[in-house]
Amino acid sequence: MAPTPSSGLNTPESELEGLLTVHPTAVRRPNSILVQSDNTRYTEEHITAKFHNRSSVVDVSNGHLTITPTVQAYEFQTKRTVGKTGLMMIGMGGNNGSTLCATILANRHNITWHTKTGIQQPNYIGSVLRASTVRIGTEAGTGKEVHVPISDVLPMVHPNDLVLGGWDISGLTMDKAMERARVLDWDLQRQVAPHMALLGKPLPSIYYPDFIAANQEARADNLIPGADKQAHLDHIRADIRKFRADHSLDRCVIFWTANTERYSDIIPGVNDTADNLLAAIRVSHSEISPSTLFAVAAILEGEPFVNGAPQNTFVPGVIELAERHHSFIGGDDLKSGQTKLKSVLAEFLVNAGIKPLSIASYNHLGNNDGHNLSAAAQFKSKEISKSSVVDDMVDANRLLYNPPLVGPKGVATGKGEHPDHIVVIKYVPAVGDSKRAIDEYYSEIFCGGRSTINIFNECEDSLLATPLILDLTILTELLSRVRYRKVESSETKFAPLYPILSLLSYMLKAPLVKPGTEVVNSLNRQRNALETFLKACIGLEGSSDLLLETRIW
């Protein structure tokens, strides 16, 4: 069956005008930025840039702060050629996976469709990398600020070029999976269905009933046979190798977008070290989760793994294994709506000197994610990832919140004062993928006053999550091409970045960071870190909002 023409049937000529104009977020642009500086060198293979990381070391003694500014010079080397990139999703046939495949295909084939408000063109709105800009300076002669698409700063893979594949416990073909999800407009589904059918059905996956809700058993008809976890690991690794070879891929990002699992127990001798974890897999230990098994497979195959769900996939043994193999990992849990807003509003209140006393969040949704989260153990994983989002903002302002008590040996005995933070999620089948989120921020203001802010947010859950999967995949591929060295001697070799990709934090609820470093949940700080890093890779200092030229003679 041939794909339906993208213009649709019986479309009036007046409505067809301009339909061949592709939305700006789907346009490929040549990399047109050239930095003229002694700090930046271009070759056919690399962009090499020097960057000065400026910070301060603070010595605290008897209530006095002594601050010493520091400067460390680095060089970043970015491979300019964007290799052929695959995206293998665990949960490919779910709401997020099927929506991602369908929308990429709609963009790739420029399929337009009818909605009740008119003709809709495909685009990548909601993607930070494809639909937002960054300030790079001021225009010569006019002083006007110049902004460019983030995707123009460095060579990045275009979403349309991703090779799509993956696994799912459900054996529905991808066109039927899209139909089951009920996310996209019917006219788009009608036209993209033949393209989706060509994807076939996902590869068989693994199903350990103890880790996801019992209500998911009805979907589990596409499984790798047996209960031997070592055999399952070998099977998944073989799937990755075959997919990579079949499509001649240079890079393949493995992405968990399947159901939320319960938290895994951290057990000494089982998953606390890399060797113990591999040994536990060999004996099929019951506490090895499906997501951890997929992460191990990706690491051993040298491919990046991103966890888009809230469970603790990255047990200590996985992190050590990633370090050992210099393989990239990132997570956890997509930050698409309510939590993203919370990371902005809580920071706004605290930075304004207003003291949130309680933050109460309520959600109800009717998709399969909501169905799975109706089980207590799986909801607990989500609650943990949502609840920590304001911690760093509270810790940054101990004028408002009492600090942790300190014991006799100078060790903090608790967390310190903190807002009451409540998260509730309810499964309501009737609303489908259209999630409802209600938040109340109850705060103390001047001289004992009170302020209450209530927010009601309704959104198509998968249409917010899908662009984040694209951003995380594209950014992960880019970071795998970046190497760095400290500028101390010309003999220092370039090395890959640390395996935990904390620069992905902007898109994640519970960012995974290097052990021993602090988690940053502030959306503004996460965005600034990402912008600063991308600019550093072309030899630009972070743009200053001081705008000194406007404040002096």
* Residue-level pLDDT at 27: 67
* Residue 431 pLDDT class (50, 70, 90 cuts): confident
Go through the chain and tell me how many residues it has.
553
Percent residues over pLDDT 90 in the chain: 66
Considering 435, 439, 471, 535, which one is annotated as catalytic?
Answer: 435
* Residue-level pLDDT at 2: 38
> CA angle 277-278-281, nearest 5°?
90
* Residue-level pLDDT at 445: 96
Considering 201, 335, 386, 509, which one is annotated as catalytic?
Answer: 509
- Which phi and psi angles does 491 have, rounded to 5°? -85, -10
Average pLDDT over residues 322-333: 94
For helices 376-387 and 338-351, give the axis angle rounded to 10 degrees. 30
* Residue 439 pLDDT class (50, 70, 90 cuts): very high
Average pLDDT over residues 492-507: 94
Average pLDDT over residues 62-87: 94
Q: Each residue of 99-130: pLDDT tens digit?
A: 999 999 999 999 999 999 999 999 999 999 99
pLDDT above 70: residue 387: no
* Residue-level pLDDT at 315: 96
Considering 333, 433, 439, 471, which one is annotated as catalytic?
Answer: 333
* Residue 4 pLDDT class (50, 70, 90 cuts): very low
Residue 382 designated active-site: yes
- Which phi and psi angles does 384 have, rounded to 5°? -65, -45
Go through the domains of the chain in sequence order and give each one's CATH number.
Answer: 338-459 (3.30.360.10)
Q: Are 259 and 309 in contact (CB under 8 A)?
A: yes
Residue 168 designated active-site: no
Residue 221 designated active-site: no
Q: Each residue of 138-180: pLDDT tens digit?
A: 888 888 889 999 999 999 999 999 999 999 999 999 999 999 9
Distance in angstroms (rounded) separating the CA atoms of residues 511 and 294: 19
- Strand 420-427 to strand 434-444: parallel, antiparallel, or no bridges (unpaired)? unpaired
User: Looking at the whole model, is its pTM more than 0.85?
Assistant: yes
Q: Are 421 and 390 in contact (CB under 8 A)?
A: yes
* Residue 32 pLDDT class (50, 70, 90 cuts): confident
pLDDT above 60: residue 1: no
* Residue 373 pLDDT class (50, 70, 90 cuts): low
Q: Each residue of 517-539: pLDDT tens digit?
A: 888 988 999 999 999 999 999 99
pLDDT above 50: residue 13: no
Q: Each residue of 85-106: pLDDT tens digit?
A: 999 999 999 999 999 999 999 9
* Chain mean pLDDT for the chain: 89
Q: Are 255 and 469 in contact (CB under 8 A)?
A: yes
When comparing pLDDT for 277 and 341, which is higher? 277
Q: Each residue of 391-430: pLDDT tens digit?
A: 888 888 989 998 887 766 666 666 788 899 888 888 888 8
Question: Cβ neighbours of residue 72 under 8 Å, at least 6 residues apart?
Answer: 52, 53, 55, 486
Q: Each residue of 229-274: pLDDT tens digit?
A: 999 999 999 999 999 999 999 999 999 999 889 899 999 999 999 9
* Residue-level pLDDT at 22: 55
Considering 201, 342, 355, 382, which one is annotated as catalytic?
Answer: 382
Q: Are 322 and 499 in contact (CB under 8 A)?
A: yes
